[in-house]
Chain A
C-alpha cells in the first residue's frame, strides 16, 4: 500500500516568490548594483595601478597609526610575502570586496544596532532574524544574490554584506545596552537629549564592544568573499577554486596561506583598535 503524501511544492513556490521579488525589487537592486560595481571597479583598478610597494607602505603606515608598531611590521611582511607569491592582484581583488562589503555592512549595521538598543520592539524583531542568519551555512547566502545581481563581484558583495552584518548589529546593540544604567540616568538627570546621550555617553562607552563586532564582521566578510569565488568573484577564492579544478594542490595551498595571512592582518588591526578603545 502506498502511504506517501504528495510532495509539498516548496521549491516551486520559492522559485515563483523569487521571480516575483526580483521584478518588484529591481528599482532598488538595479541602482544598488550600479553603485556597488562602480565602487568595486574603481577601487580594484586604483589598487592595481598603484605600485604594490606604495600600497604596502601605506597599509603599514595605517596599521602603525591605528594598531602599533608590531602590527605594522606584520602587515608589511605579510603583504610583501603575498607579492612574492605572485598573488598580488588576487589579494587586491579580495581585499576590495572585503573592505567595501564591510563598510556597507557597518553603515547599515551600526544604525540598526543603535535602533535595537533604544527600542525593545525593534530588538525583539531583529534578534531572531540574526539568530537564524547565523545558523545558515555561508554559501546559502549566494543563492538569493544570483537572481538579483547575476554572477560576479556585486553578487558576492551583496551576499557578503548580508552574511557579515549580524555581528555588527548584535555587538552594537549589546554594547549600548550594557552601558551601566546609573550612567544613563546621570545623563538624563542633567537634561541630555537622546542624541547627546548617545554621542557623549552611550557610544563612547559601547565602543570596545562595537569594535569587537567590527572585527567579527571583517572576518566573516573575508570568509564569505573566498566562498563567493564559486559565483565568479575571483580573488584569492578564485585561485583556490582554480587549484581545486586543476588538481594543483601546491597552488591551492599557496592561495590558502595567502587568505590566512590576509585574515591575520585584518584581525590584528581591528583587535588592536578595539583594545585601544577599551583602555580609554
Chain B
C-alpha cells in the first residue's frame, strides 16, 4: 500500500550543526565522532545527524522525541527556517535546500503551512486578519482573501469570532485560528510544531480528534512534531522516533511497540496504552485450528483486523472467541480472551507474544479507535 502512495516529502541525510566551525564539525561527523567530542573540539552543537525519512501523500507523520532530540530543528529545516548544514530535502521533487531566496519564499507561500506551539497569532490583528495573513503575503486581493479566510475560520469552528483579537480567545480557540491560518493558504503540506502541547489535556484530546476528522475531509500531508506518545497514537500516523538528533526508529505505533529497535525505544513505549495500539489482527490466533473454529462461528459476529484491542474488547467480552476479518472480509484468524490477555500482559524481551506474520491488506496508516 505504501508503494502505491506518492511521496510528498523526502528527507535525505540531513544534518544540522550550530556554532561557528560548521565545516570542521561536519568532517568530524562523517568520521563518526560523538556529539560530545565534536563539541569539545569545535565548540559546535550537533542538532541533527544524517536524518532520512519520507512522508507519503495524505498521511500524518509524527516526529517524536524528548526535548533536545532535534525534532523541532528538523521541522524547521523542512521550510528552511533553520538552514540544514548538509543533506537534501525534496518536496514534490524539488530540493528545498537548493532554492534561492525568491524561490524559497514562493515555496513557503504556496506549498507549506505552519502551525506553532504557542499559536504565534499577531496580537495587533483581528482573527480574520491573522487568518488571511498568508494570502495577504501572496498578494491576493482583499475581497477574495477575506472570503477564503472566513471559510477557513468556519472549517475550524471559529465562526463569529473573526473580528475579535487573539487576546479575547482561549488557548484552544487561538490554536484553531493558527490552524485556520495554515489552511487558508490551501497548501497541501502542513508543518505542525507541538501544535497541541500548550493546551490543557481535555482540549488537547478534542483538537487531536478534530484534526483527524479534518484530515478525512481535506487529506493534507502533515508532519506533526510531538513529545507525547499518547498524542502520536491518537493521531494515528507513522512515527519517526528521534534521540539526540538521530532517528532511532520509524514505524507505526504498533511496529514500535512490538518490535522496538533499541532499549531506548523499549523504555519509551514502556507505559504505552497497549490496548489502543495493538490491533486485533496482530493479537489474534492465526493457527490452522483457530481458522477452522472461526469458519464455524456465526456469520454476523466479526471484528476487523485493523481495529485496536480496545475497540474489539466489547465483542470479545460478549462472545468469547470472535473471528477476525481483513479488509476484504476474509477470515484471517480468531481472537480469544486469551489472546487479549497475552497481548496486554506482554513480556519485555525474548518471547514473541504476538503473531509476527504480516496481515494481508492491513492499513499501515490510520488506526480506527
**A contact set with B: CB distance below 8 Å:** 182-183, 185-186, 188-193, 196, 200-201, 204-205, 280
CB distance from A114 to the nearest CB of B (A): 18
Stretch at the interface among B63-71, B132-140, B254-262, B293-301: B132-140
CB distance from A199 to the nearest CB of B (A): 11
Q: Is B116 an interface residue (CB 8 A)?
A: yes
Q: Are B79 and A189 in contact, CB atoms less than 8 angstroms apart? A: yes
Q: Mark B87-106, 1 if CB is under 8 A from A, else 0.
A: 00000000000000000111
Candidates A186, A200, A201, A204; contact of B114 at CB < 8 Å: A186
Q: A182-B118, A196-B137 are in contact. Are A189 and B108 (CB under 8 A)?
A: yes
Interface residues of B in 238-292 (CB under 8 A from A): none
- B110 CB contacts on chain A under 8 angstroms: 191
Q: Is B341 an interface residue (CB 8 A)?
A: no
Contact sample, A vs B, 17 pairs, CB 8 Å cutoff: A182-B116, A182-B118, A183-B120, A185-B76, A185-B81, A186-B116, A186-B120, A188-B108, A189-B81, A190-B108, A190-B109, A190-B114, A190-B181, A191-B105, A191-B108, A191-B109, A200-B133
Of A188, A190, A192, A205, which is in contact with the most chain B CB atoms at under 10 Å from its CB? A190
Majority SS of interface residues in chain A?
helix
Q: Are A190 and B116 in contact, CB atoms less than 8 angstroms apart? A: no
**B contact set with A: CB distance below 8 Å:** 76, 79, 81, 104-110, 112-114, 116-118, 120, 122-124, 133-134, 136-138, 181, 185, 191
Q: Are B107 and A191 in contact, CB atoms less than 8 angstroms apart? A: yes
6 smallest beta-carbon distances between A and B, as pairs: A191-B109, A191-B108, A186-B120, A189-B114, A190-B134, A182-B120
CB distance from A75 to the nearest CB of B (A): 28
- A189 CB contacts on chain B under 8 angstroms: 79, 81, 108, 112, 114, 191
Q: A185-B81, A186-B114 are in contact. Are A191 and B120 (CB under 8 A)?
A: no
CB distance from B180 to the nearest CB of A (A): 13
Q: A183-B120, A201-B122 are in contact. Are A188 and B81 (CB under 8 A)?
A: yes
- B107 CB contacts on chain A under 8 angstroms: 191
CB distance from B280 to the nearest CB of A (A): 41
- A204 CB contacts on chain B under 8 angstroms: 124
Q: Once the chains are docked, how many angstroms separate the CA of A188 from the CA of B106?
A: 11
Q: Are A190 and B81 in contact, CB atoms less than 8 angstroms apart? A: no
Residue of B nearest to A182 (CB): B120
- B106 CB contacts on chain A under 8 angstroms: 191
Q: Are B124 and A185 in contact, CB atoms less than 8 angstroms apart? A: no
Residue of A nearest to B114 (CB): A189
CB distance from A137 to the nearest CB of B (A): 40
CB distance from A193 to the nearest CB of B (A): 6
Q: Once the chains are docked, how many angstroms separate the CA of A190 from the CA of B191?
A: 11
Given known contacts A186-B116, A193-B105, A280-B124, what 5 new A-B pairs fall within 8 Å (CB)?
A182-B116, A183-B122, A190-B108, A190-B181, A191-B137
- B109 CB contacts on chain A under 8 angstroms: 190-191
Q: Are B138 and A191 in contact, CB atoms less than 8 angstroms apart? A: yes
Residue of A nearest to B102 (CB): A193
Residue of B nearest to A196 (CB): B137
Q: Once the chains are docked, how many angstroms separate the CA of A196 from the CA of B139?
A: 11
Residue of B nearest to A193 (CB): B105
- B185 CB contacts on chain A under 8 angstroms: 190
Q: Are B124 and A190 in contact, CB atoms less than 8 angstroms apart? A: no
